[in-house]
Structure 1
């Protein structure tokens, strides 16, 4: 048995295994930060599936310090009954519960709180676009009391652990960081001064918690900013935190000014924080908890087996698969629905004030209403199209007891998965493809290669229910010269067709920019031509900065507000300039592949259409529609 399932002690707590649900925001609480049934069901289901301890996300200690409208609050005694209901549910489901108390500081927004943000120094956060003011010494002392009162409420609400948030650029971290703390009094300058306020807060919280509630900190091992907090200083902070009462150290990274290291997208290496946790373990005598793209079973086992950390903090991995811990325990590795680090359904939604969803798990955030229940009447279900929508529909249909046939014109399943995974840093999309394929094989879904073009092609399968998931095809805009031989589609390039050396890409959306990355990485000279005023529409906040940096590093030219007049064999002619190109690539949109659906509706009664055949969108939409369609059969 792997050491992942050995108990661990943190202060007064004995935790049954080495899995912590990381304090990731989920946007599921009620307006103003109140506990509701939706957030209870979300955490309850993870607790029921053997997570050792669940940290319920950041809990706001003060009205002006709340970062999101749907974020739990603890700044008043009136929140205690709801939080008590939450901890009771988690306990009854078999897990321990922790609260991460925090104040957003310079990363708060007056648009959300109605109050001007406060910070150690009046330095705006570029991501939020706010105008914080510097705290007075009197306000610092008062804020210390605010944190301590929040800790008292945490204990009264039945939480087993209080995690003090010293990470991600929030208030206490912003005092620690030379990037955000430019004070010249006793709370700024030297590390000793920058530590003063956070360590005083921690010490008094530890006194409130006494011997019955564990006290830990979460801290960014590296802020990943040139003038930010670095690991050498973090080591000292951790050592002082332990003296002040911290009983474990949970390592994370980044701040809003380096947000890609806070909620790591695909381009950040798996387990990138493990070297920090391994080093810190050599220097402190309390458990060290590590996070950061732990989406591989062997990696998770290795970290604990090789004593590189004492515990794993997993956020997105427990959103993508609520049964992760159970599957790890039973060594059902092929059944794990790994997080692909797309950030679309989780953090992108949360930043917009919405509740989480998940690209690979349509139940995430909808635990109560989206159950996979056995069908009363078993049917013969035929699904046309084996992309993500069709594969998910097949999986859920089969789990409900239906006989399922999945038909696709290609030799192998996956639809556009391979195209999506071809550009640099996008290969983890294949984790989802592999999961779906494994499940279809285990469940006995019949997969047939056939190009269904007419009603008669489908009629021979005698379906009781039909799901059409035939996707969408790239379109070519009506530009003079678009029919020339050197003009091809972006998907053709990503499918392996050799490109020219000097390439113009028409369209700067997701497909155009990813194709540009692919070609630039191969050493091609690339120009993106976009009719809108910017490229990268639809790229999430954790990806955008890296995308633009990548394109700049690889000398990809960008022309926006462009109107194309003509494509010739040597160039693309715009209204006000010309772009030399020996190849032109079209990335200008999609049209649904739905030409024969009208005929099908006349022949079959029970037809549903899902995914891009309705409208070209993203995998997250395909997954949801596939799940919901299968749930209705």
Structure 2
């Protein structure tokens, strides 16, 4: 078979995309009252007009306690009109739009949300300084139904793709990680048990939407902490999802928002800037040796998840989206040569929203992001590239 052109049209489930590039979900920080704003629409319009095939709206919560913090959209009747306004704007550019559907689980700040967080097992929250309670059977039934209701609302609002968030120690991921899941019931123990919630959600969402939209999932290549999802376990989980047949593609990520965030980002560690953006108790905690150890340093390398992603490519037949430090045209073309179906970018298109157009036209062969990661702390005040904005 010939190698696909990364800038040529592609099919994702029932959706036709103008090319194989995806803007990865990165929290935009542009919904201060939990509603779609012109600023949020403009954020996605910039990359859509810049040539991206599919842009992804981040962290659309299925329930109030599933937000990372209060300034996040909970999908429902009160937010549907704004979401529809956003999809209309993106479609006018020729791009398609995905909604990242998730429940933050232990990554949620219960104090900010005014609702205590839930997780696979009881644990202290470094964000709210509260105890996170273990999800009950009733919680898991409620949350699964909330995923279904959210999916229906997003389809009605015109979204083309639903991305189910199953990584980064969010709720589903907390069940997958043996270090976070100490349960003795049918939700804990074996990988099959720990995978039950993610598979249940994927099946329920697919049953609801059928072939109206594409359904994908973000999964972990490795969580990067002891007791997290390993590459072996991640691949085995992905194979279960593939066998179930409810998903059109997987996006491969890594790291843990709760335990090891820099494993995902790589590059410089903006510890000072990150601490300054956090509430006082967290800020003080980050000054301790334990707090400093939370933000580990990993050297940046182009396509830093490449080797782990190849294991997934070899072990799966379903479409895969390669993520992790993709900045260059030759990396994108190499991904196509090795059987990946799409490439996802975050920081590269934050720095240059029109990067895809530049690469396709041959005006550049690489993005100019320097991977300083000073964009990370801006998620609380409107995600932006400080190098471009000057602060």
Match of 1:112 in 2: 112
Match of 1:73 in 2: 74
Q: Does 1:356 align with 2:383?
A: yes
Q: Alignment RMSD, CA only? A: 1.7
- Structure 1 counterpart SS, 2:224: coil
Question: Is the 1:278–1:308 contact (alpha carbons within 8 Å) kept by the matching residues of 2?
Answer: no
After superposition, what is the alpha-carbon deviation per residue over 1:379-405, rounded to whole angstroms, capped at 9, x for unaligned?
A: xxxxxxxxxxxxxxxxxxxxxxxxxxx
Match of 1:307 in 2: 338
Match of 2:232 in 1: 232
After superposition, what is the alpha-carbon deviation per residue over 1:529-582, rounded to whole angstroms, capped at 9, x for unaligned?
A: xxxxxxxxxxxxxxxxxxxxxxxxxxxxxxxxxxxxxxxxxxxxxxxxxxxxxx
**Correspondence for 1:319 among 326, 350, 355:** 350
Q: Does 1:282 align with 2:314?
A: yes
Question: Is the 1:126–1:257 contact (alpha carbons within 8 Å) kept by the matching residues of 2?
Answer: no
After superposition, what is the alpha-carbon deviation per residue over 1:105-135, rounded to whole angstroms, capped at 9, x for unaligned?
A: 1111122101111111012244664420011
Q: Does 1:298 align with 2:330?
A: yes
Match of 2:251 in 1: 250
After superposition, what is the alpha-carbon deviation per residue over 1:288-314, rounded to whole angstroms, capped at 9, x for unaligned?
A: 10111112332223222x225221110
Question: Is the 2:106–2:170 contact (alpha carbons within 8 Å) kept by the matching residues of 1?
Answer: yes
Paired with 1:309 and 1:95, the residues of 2 have a C-alpha distance of 20
| Aligned residue pair count | 357
- Structure 2 counterpart SS, 1:24: coil
Question: Is the 1:25–1:347 contact (alpha carbons within 8 Å) kept by the matching residues of 2?
Answer: no
- Structure 2 counterpart SS, 1:14: strand
Match of 2:305 in 1: 273
- Structure 2 counterpart SS, 1:179: coil
Aligned-residue offset at 1:173? 0.7
After superposition, what is the alpha-carbon deviation per residue over 1:207-245, rounded to whole angstroms, capped at 9, x for unaligned?
A: 112111000000111011122111111112112212140
**Correspondence for 1:343 among 369, 373, 378:** 373
Aligned-residue offset at 1:99? 0.4
With over 3 angstroms needed to count, the CA separation of the structure-2 counterparts of 1:298 and 1:244, relative to structure 1, is: closer
Aligned-residue offset at 1:268? 3.4
**Correspondence for 2:14 among 12, 28, 44:** 12
After superposition, what is the alpha-carbon deviation per residue over 1:409-458, rounded to whole angstroms, capped at 9, x for unaligned?
A: xxxxxxxxxxxxxxxxxxxxxxxxxxxxxxxxxxxxxxxxxxxxxxxxxx
- Structure 2 counterpart SS, 1:3: coil
- Structure 2 counterpart SS, 1:265: coil
Where do residues 509-588 of structure 1 align in structure 2 (5 Å cutoff)? Answer: none
Match of 1:135 in 2: 135
After superposition, what is the alpha-carbon deviation per residue over 1:236-289, rounded to whole angstroms, capped at 9, x for unaligned?
A: 211221214011010000112011013333423221112222222222222110
- Structure 2 counterpart SS, 1:312: strand
Match of 1:214 in 2: 214
Aligned-residue offset at 1:326? 0.4
Match of 1:261 in 2: 263
- Structure 1 counterpart SS, 2:16: strand
Question: Is the 1:277–1:308 contact (alpha carbons within 8 Å) kept by the matching residues of 2?
Answer: no
- Structure 2 counterpart SS, 1:318: helix
- Structure 2 counterpart SS, 1:357: coil
Question: Is the 2:217–2:251 contact (alpha carbons within 8 Å) kept by the matching residues of 1?
Answer: yes
After superposition, what is the alpha-carbon deviation per residue over 1:448-477, rounded to whole angstroms, capped at 9, x for unaligned?
A: xxxxxxxxxxxxxxxxxxxxxxxxxxxxxx
After superposition, what is the alpha-carbon deviation per residue over 1:70-100, rounded to whole angstroms, capped at 9, x for unaligned?
A: 33321x2121111000011010111000001
Question: Is the 2:111–2:128 contact (alpha carbons within 8 Å) kept by the matching residues of 1?
Answer: no
Q: Does 1:61 align with 2:91?
A: no
After superposition, what is the alpha-carbon deviation per residue over 1:145-193, rounded to whole angstroms, capped at 9, x for unaligned?
A: 1111111111111100011000100001111111211100000010011
Match of 1:183 in 2: 183
Match of 1:378 in 2: none
Paired with 1:319 and 1:130, the residues of 2 have a C-alpha distance of 33
Paired with 1:129 and 1:327, the residues of 2 have a C-alpha distance of 45
Structure 2 residue ranges without an equivalent (≥5): 269-298
Question: Is the 1:337–1:360 contact (alpha carbons within 8 Å) kept by the matching residues of 2?
Answer: no
Paired with 2:56 and 2:210, the residues of 1 have a C-alpha distance of 19
Question: Is the 2:328–2:367 contact (alpha carbons within 8 Å) kept by the matching residues of 1?
Answer: no
Question: Is the 1:275–1:308 contact (alpha carbons within 8 Å) kept by the matching residues of 2?
Answer: no
With over 3 angstroms needed to count, the CA separation of the structure-2 counterparts of 1:206 and 1:356, relative to structure 1, is: same
Structure 1 residue ranges without an equivalent (≥5): 363-619, 622-633
Aligned-residue offset at 1:206? 0.8
Question: Who wins on radius of gyration, i.e. which is larger?
Answer: 1
- Structure 2 counterpart SS, 1:163: strand
With over 3 angstroms needed to count, the CA separation of the structure-2 counterparts of 1:2 and 1:240, relative to structure 1, is: closer
Paired with 1:25 and 1:241, the residues of 2 have a C-alpha distance of 26
